[in-house]
Amino acid sequence: MKIGNVEINGSVALAPMAGVADKTFRELCVKFGASYVISEMVSSRGISFSNEKTINLLQLSENEHPCAIQIFGDNPEIMARAATFALKYKPDIIDINMGCPAPKVNKSGGGSVLMKTPELCGKIVNAVKKAVNVPVTVKIRKGWDENSINAPLIAKICEDSGADAITIHGRTREQMYKPNVDINIIEKVKNSVKIPVIGNGDISCGLDAYNMLNKTGCDMVMVGRAALGNPWIFSEINQFLNSAISYKEPNIKEKLKIMLSHVNSICKNDGEKHGMIKARRHITFYIKGIPGAAAFRNRACKVETFAQLQSLSDEILTTFYKNNK
Pairwise CA distance, residues 116 & 105, whole Å: 14
User: With 0-12 CB in 10 A as exposed, 13-18 as middle and 19+ as buried, what is 132?
Assistant: middle
CA distances from 199 to 54, 73, 161 (A): 28, 23, 21
Q: What is the DSSP string of 20-73?
A: T--HHHHHHHHHTT-SEEEPPPEEHHHHHTT-HHHHHTT---GGG-SEEEEEE-
Active site residue 301: no
Helices 183-192 and 206-216 cross at an angle (nearest 10°) of: 40
How far is CA 282 from each of CA 19, 92, 225, 236, 250, rounded to the nearest angstrom? 10, 27, 11, 19, 17
User: Could you tell me which residues come within 8 angstroms of residue 262 by beta carbon, excluding any fewer than 6 positions away?
Assistant: 24, 25, 28, 231, 279, 282, 286
Catalytic member of 29, 100, 158, 267:
100
List, by residue number, the catalytic residues.
100
